[in-house]
Structure 1
Amino acid sequence: MLLIKNAKILSDNQQTIQRDILIQDGTIKEIGDNLSDVQADVFDAQGHFLTPGLVDVHVHFREPGFEYKETIQTGSLAAARGGFTTVMAMPNLNPVPDDQAKLAAQIARNQENSVIHVEQIGAISKDLTDHTINDIQGMTEAGAIAFSNDGKGVQTADTMLQAMTAAAKAKRPLIAHLEDDTLLHGGVMNDGEVSQQLGLPGITGLAESSQLARDLVIAKVTGVHYHVAHISTKESVALVRMAKSQGVHVTAEVSPHHLLLSDDAIQKDDAYFKMNPPLRAQEDREALIAGLIDGTIDMIATDHAPHGTEEKQKSFAVAPFGITGIETSFQLLYTHLVKSGLLSLGTLIDRMLIAPVKAFHLDAPTQIAVGQRADLALFDLTHLTTIAVDDFLSKGKNTPFIGWQVYGETQATWVSGQQVYQR
């Protein structure tokens, strides 16, 4: 039995109120003022902000195949340090979970090695690149939460039509990594003034938005739940907004780095700023923030993509795409979106918890209430701290946010009432 004393929680009218939370057998038993229980272990929250654990629908835990970058254990510990208690793991692994047996084996591996809840996404097609789709129904029965070829764009309309039809029949979302290979031209960053100044080949926003336009038309016909991963351009935001107005079942996510940075932050050949999709122009960043505020973009997802240090110290031209993000996302977003007045705290919690649970029908609590599972995260919203590489629990240290000063550091995280992280 656990008694969390002096925690601030969000009330129904989105104000913070101080409460004590009594937890028994992994669930919340009582909420009140000045609670006491002689049998309970007491944790003093010291007036910090307590919320149900955050949810991230887009992570890369790299195991199996790339354990030098991350493992399920280190990724889940990093998630707990970031205040996340449920994540959805992408299938770009080796072997790729692209059939029923491999998917079931991956789910078992996640359960054995993770300190948090990990839902597994299945691959749309063999090795993420084949034009023939996998056994979507069989993988659904094996436990796939959704389907994606993340890291690779689905290159033909026919493959996407087959995939959406099968996913709709299986009642599972299809998550799209939008990238038209014929429009890449070897690009490594956004196509614009900065790429020209640095002499690096650029990636046009058309590589994303043109494929999105194709997919939205197919999604309307098939009725599938179509989810846009890591949206990055103003054109894509406009397309999603229009599709929603026409009744297409589309949801979208944006990554913290695309909300906080534009390509003008790249002052030199520094691959810690190399991600896919790339950091876009300032006008794109502003459109993403506007879309997040008005609900066109439903949720925030980190796209946590750890890499080896040596890999990311190479030139932009050859280093892998991706940055780590699950340990720093809440504090960065709270500092730069909530403290600045762009979002309310309640809206940030909606985009990082309630909206993902609702969209993907996840088994995760969205409010602190009696009878709910005690997946909880405690954040210090009042003290300024510095993001330091030595504090990371992820194997990946590849982030441009090292040295940034932030509010909102995680103090503790619980999964089913068991503490899995304490600062």
Structure 2
Amino acid sequence: MIDLTQLRENPDRFKASQRARGASESLVDEILSADASRRSALTAFEAARAEQKGFGKQVAQAKGEEKAALVAQAKELSSRVKALQADADEAEFAFDALLRKLPNLIIDGVPAGGEEDSAELRREGTPRDFSADGFEPKDHQELGELLGAIDTSRGAKVSGARFYYLTGFGARLELALLTMALDVVEKHGFTATITPTLVKPEVMGGTGFLGEHADEVYRLEADDLFLVGTSEVPLAGYHMDEILDLSGGPRRYAGWSPCYRREAGSYGKDTRGILRVHQFQKVEMFSYVRAEDAEAEHARMLAIQEEMLAKCELAYRVLDIAAGDLGDSAARKFDTEAWIPTQGTYRELTSTSNCTTFQSRRLKIRERGEDGTRPVATLNGTAANTRWLVALLENHQQADGSVRIPEALRPYLGGMTAYGPEGARYA
């Protein structure tokens, strides 16, 4: 939810944000009109209610025929107050419904347009030249099958398309990666957290996931609960309805959880392997910070993600995501994409979003300051997830069918230096 005072004072800025997103500018005018109607209806109700209270004193003091007449008038006034209250409630509901449709105000400098308009900020590392190594790289699924690490056929047999098993080396590699990610983010001040993966509608809606992309979310209708697509959701709800003390710095959490996504609209895309799946594991960073510190925290999260990519010895690029591809909650988002040899392109491994005060206003999360309370800013960012296995397997494969383990990951695999069809290798 956006800052209503800011919207009233500078509607053109919100219209520009909507244009950049490729969204409706007229929604801003509709909200302002509904806001005026809501305030007018509330004023009429409050005036009538005040009149009713004053009238009640007259009735109490009157006698005889005068009192009977006043009682009749009081009944009419009571009916009018009830009608005005209903009007005010209806106007409030209509206003709130419109306000919840308005996505976050983008930060100045975010590229306008859709996915293809995202701006590449820089590239790090050099994509590996397999021709110099004298062999053609295998894709991650073929490698995973040869190494007994990935089993998509049995995943589909048991759960349907886009499900999989990680077995043996595959399971160990994912656990090693996520454990390393947790160690890295803990070093940067994030508290390790195992989060719930089922949340109430007010938490899912409060984080902005029941808007434009609601069809991505799994819902358990019998229990009125939602399966989360990221631990950002339960971490955002962790301090719901609370007032935080941020005088000692941001509150930072790292959530390790399974994540579930319907991948609606992705029919026919990335059907091979584990690049785009319905269930995966992820370590997610989440921060509560003062609003003026949000952009610095955003840069900090991106730096942590790049530290992880460097530890995994992956070539990657950083993108400033275009407004139309941000999602409702984000005011700015940076993605990192790793080079995938068999696709000859970069594919997303991490995102980090600055949601400013959009989520905290919905979830009623504030901080106490010298001038009272105010909403906090929230930010989120991927530390590592299952998709990273795609880049690790493909980029570090060797001519003999084995996969070299990046040095930083070796302590998490008992000192393993490589894994091949014959099993693990150690120095």
Fold shared per TM-score above 0.5: no
Give TM-score scaled by structure 2 length.
Answer: 0.24
Q: Which has the larger radius of gyration?
A: 2
Higher normalized helix content (fraction of residues): 2
